[in-house]
Structure 1
Amino acid sequence: MSAIKKFFQKKKSEAKFKLAGPGRRLDSNEAPTTSKSTKAQSDVYVPPQRQELTSEARTAADAALARVQSQKKDTTHFNTSLAAIRAQVQRELEAERKIKTDVEISQEHTQPKILEDGHNRNLAAQGVYFRCPMIGEDVLPRNEWKVKIKEFLYEQLANERGLTSCLIILNCNTKEKSTACIETLSKYLQNIIQHPDDEKYRKIRQSNRIFCEKVQPCEGALDFLLAAGFIEQTIDDEQFFIYTGTTDDVASDDATNNGIETLNELLDALQHSEIIPLELDRNIQVLSPAQTKKCELPPDFYRISVEEIKREQQLRTEAMENSSILKTKAMREREELRYIQRYKFALIRIRFPDGFYLQGTFSVYEKLEQVYAFVQSCLKNENIDFKLMSPIGTKWCDDDMNKTLFDLRLIPNTILTFEVNENADNCVGNYLKEDLLMLTQQV
């Protein structure tokens, strides 16, 4: 069985558990509500009309102008004033140039040092990496996986055109484009299934506006139509996709039945296909105490772009001013929430009694129990009974194990302390596995 068929078979078996819809607490009395936002139209500003000068005002103005023109000014004084203005402008320009030079020099000193291999020396992690078990065991950044997934799907297109084209539509296009395409293609197939003898549903004009906007620009859509039994044909100098069903030379009734069955299968695959999942790689590192000073995170950890991060850095001065203002607890919690919502991933470091640090990358929505499982898998003695303690000395209970890193505010980078329970047998020597200790980087 091919990888594509295995993927759809797995998703189909999981679909029956999702029929109940979204989960809801039994003791909750809240009913789903919908909110509509309305936008008030702003009033158009109408400038006041300037009133014409009265005859008295005009006479006074002419008299004042005549007095000014009659006075003889010292041209030397005028030239001196002009020179003073030019000198002042020159001083301001020089001051601006000096400020710009100082900023450039400070940026050069604070610019992260880039190694010969392109890595940033000051970063705590070089990026966020993923695995894709469906395709291979490589560990790559998300952008490289997108390219590799696309190459893999087009390689499978010759063998499984229908199912593979469904995955291409979903994985190789933006969410908005793929959603609109799937809705349109589903409508095409449903019309044929419900009205198999109606000729008007068997033809799709390629110049049709909906087809041009929602189907044609979407990768994999034309391959899906060809796999469903459509062929390209010219009628009266216009290009159409004509549904013919099966192309084999069989009886018409059998051809119709086979064609409808194929359409039902493809329609089900199209509506229930999912994006090929990527598994977050922990990017395990073992650090010495001197290396824990590197705590700067790469842009992959943020939900926002690098430009937005720079703009936020420019607003730090305003934040310092705001910090002097007395704030309520609710105000501080809202500010903290806005801060941690910028991050998609969290860097967790575990400090061991022998001085080593274990570092791993987690999603902000992973649970605390997954951090415990990660630490346990790296221990020389995996059966040892241990606890992890927060930076402020908090020891979590069993109820906290199902809370996410987001809920526990262990974002964006946190150092947890490894502590062996009193009743457990203490480890002799190092706590981590030998092969992990070999990952310790040189300072």
Structure 2
Amino acid sequence: MSKIKRFFSKKKEEAAFKLKLGGTMGEGRKLNAPKQEQPTTSRSKHEAYVPPKRNSLSQEARAAANAALTRIEKKDSRDFNTSLAAIKAQAKRELEAERRQKEELASSSSIATSAFSNASAGDNKNLACQGVFFRCPLISDEVLPKKAWKAKIKDFLYQQLEEDRGLTACLIIQNCNVKEKADECIATLIKYLENIIKNPDEEKFCKIRMSNRIFSEKVRYVEGALDVLYAAGFSEVQIDNEPFLLWTRDQMEAGLDLNTLVDALKNSELIHLELDRNIKVLLPSQARRVVLPDDFYRISPEEIKREQQLRAEAIESSQMLKTKAMREREEQRNLRMYRYSLVRVKFPNGLFIQGTFNVYEKISDIFEFVQSCLADESIDFNLVASSEGKFCEEDMEKTLYECRLIPNVLLLFTIPGVPAQVSADLNYLKEDLLMLVQSM
């Protein structure tokens, strides 16, 4: 089975599962029956996060670590001693330096910085990461920026046209056009095909005048649209010296029927990209870099600079006191500027791990990310945010956006019951992740 057919087969299975799930109402219970006790699974606010038992490195962590290693190997860098003893010694030296310098302590204890100061900095050397990267399981194991994936997805789909023209063309419409054009085109194509399905013998439904306004505006110049019609059995002909598309049953793509093509049009969607965590392991001195790349923003760099200018002018000119509602509106406007959040977790031994998250991912995703990086994935741990304190069970389903952990946040890794002096001498990360410690 080709990759395109597997894609639509999976979507069909998911739709069937959701339909089955939605129709299940559960077992009934008599009104006079004794009330059954529900198992208590929630944790109190001060309980540690209890991770599930896992025997091996998660697939996501393995892929992310391998991708990061690949990127690092491509860079020219000096030899760096990545032994555990050397890393611990370096981290300790830097922690001592921070304790002696109050300003450095303040900068390392809070990673949150102004969105506008981040946007105005243009030195790539100071960026906390070089961008936002993705993986596409349908196509390959590569880790690339979204822009590169768009070009690669387009090339991949056009390569599949010869093997599965109709199904592939449905995906081309969704992935190679702007959403508004794609939606209008698909709706029009579905109408053309359903008219033929219901009235196969009516001549008016079996031909399309190519100069027709609706066809010209919504179909003709949309990538993939004509390929869908060709696969459905349409071919170009001249009628009274005017170009038409004429449908005949014997011109249909082998193994494809109109109902299948209509279903494919209805179920086609953007090919899914998985956000790569872009894992980094940092020393304390490296964790001071909090400037975010442009990929983290929803708006362009020019718009960010304009927002910065307007905000600076407003601060200088306005002396009025703001109400709570006004402050909340301004905060929400600032938060909506971001697509992604940079999450750093500081361990007691001074090392940091860093990962990229979508702003609508959940707090539980951060816990799972940290757990996958630990040498002992079974240990109980807490993550503490300076603004929120410890996370509790109710927080696990909240998004980073809801918790205002945007655009970047520092979380402290703690183990309940372990003294600070003892925890500072322990190593927590997998050995392969220690290889990601970057030389200065």
Range of TM-score over shorter length? 0.7 to 0.9
Inter-partner Cα distance in structure 2 for 1:134 and 1:280: 14
Residue matched to 1:440: 437
User: Does residue 137 in structure 1 map to residue 147 in structure 2?
Assistant: no
Cα displacement (A) at 1:323 = 7.2
Once the two structures are superposed, the pairs formed by residues 32-431 of structure 1 within 5 Å of their partners are 112-113=122-123, 120-247=124-251, 262-321=257-316, 324-392=319-387, 394-422=389-417, 429-431=426-428
Inter-partner Cα distance in structure 2 for 1:302 and 1:350: 22
Stretch of structure 1 that moved more, 318-327 or 400-409? 318-327
User: Does residue 8 in structure 1 map to residue 5 in structure 2?
Assistant: no
Inter-partner Cα distance in structure 2 for 1:111 and 1:408: 26
Q: Go from structure 1 to structure 2 and tell me whether the alpha carbon gap of 1:393 and 1:225 turns closer, same or farther (over 3 Å shift).
A: closer
Q: Go from structure 1 to structure 2 and tell me whether the alpha carbon gap of 1:441 and 1:183 turns closer, same or farther (over 3 Å shift).
A: same
Inter-partner Cα distance in structure 2 for 1:243 and 1:21: 40
Inter-partner Cα distance in structure 2 for 1:419 and 1:230: 65
Q: Go from structure 1 to structure 2 and tell me whether the alpha carbon gap of 1:21 and 1:433 turns closer, same or farther (over 3 Å shift).
A: closer
Letter in 2 for 1:206: M
Aligned length: 342
Structure 1, unaligned runs of 5 or more: 23-109, 114-119, 249-254
Q: Go from structure 1 to structure 2 and tell me whether the alpha carbon gap of 1:21 and 1:322 turns closer, same or farther (over 3 Å shift).
A: farther
Cα displacement (A) at 1:316 = 2.9
Q: Go from structure 1 to structure 2 and tell me whether the alpha carbon gap of 1:178 and 1:129 turns closer, same or farther (over 3 Å shift).
A: same
Inter-partner Cα distance in structure 2 for 1:139 and 1:300: 15
Inter-partner Cα distance in structure 2 for 1:12 and 1:204: 30
Inter-partner Cα distance in structure 2 for 1:2 and 1:427: 52
Inter-partner Cα distance in structure 1 for 2:416 and 2:314: 42
Cα displacement (A) at 1:435 = 1.2
Residue matched to 1:67: none
Cα displacement (A) at 1:232 = 1.0
Q: Go from structure 1 to structure 2 and tell me whether the alpha carbon gap of 1:271 and 1:121 turns closer, same or farther (over 3 Å shift).
A: same
Cα displacement (A) at 1:2 = 0.9
Cα displacement (A) at 1:393 = 6.1
Deviations 1:17-44 (A, max 9, x none): 556999xxxxxxxxxxxxxxxxxxxxxx
Structure 2, unaligned runs of 5 or more: 23-119
Inter-partner Cα distance in structure 2 for 1:414 and 1:282: 15
Cα displacement (A) at 1:430 = 1.6
Q: Go from structure 1 to structure 2 and tell me whether the alpha carbon gap of 1:172 and 1:328 turns closer, same or farther (over 3 Å shift).
A: same
Amino-acid identity (%):
58
Cα displacement (A) at 1:273 = 1.1
Deviating beyond 6 angstroms after TM superposition, the runs of 4 or more aligned structure 1 residues are none
Inter-partner Cα distance in structure 2 for 1:18 and 1:300: 34
Letter in 2 for 1:5: K
TM-score scaled to structure 1, two decimals?
Answer: 0.73
Letter in 1 for 2:219: V
Inter-partner Cα distance in structure 2 for 1:396 and 1:233: 67
Inter-partner Cα distance in structure 1 for 2:346 and 2:317: 34
TM-score scaled to structure 2, two decimals?
Answer: 0.74
Deviations 1:198-225 (A, max 9, x none): 0111011111111111111100111111
Letter in 2 for 1:286: V
Inter-partner Cα distance in structure 2 for 1:121 and 1:392: 29
Deviations 1:176-234 (A, max 9, x none): 11111101111110111111110111011111111111111100111111100111111
Larger RCO, structures 1/2 (Cα 8 Å, 6+ apart): 2
> What SS class does the counterpart of residue 405 from structure 2 fall into?
coil
Q: What RMSD over aligned residues (CA atoms) do the two structures have, in Å?
A: 2.5
Deviations 1:78-133 (A, max 9, x none): xxxxxxxxxxxxxxxxxxxxxxxxxxxxxxxx8633xxxxxx10111111000000
Cα displacement (A) at 1:135 = 0.2
> What SS class does the counterpart of residue 144 from structure 2 fall into?
strand
Deviations 1:375-411 (A, max 9, x none): 0000111111100000236111111011000011100
Letter in 2 for 1:415: L
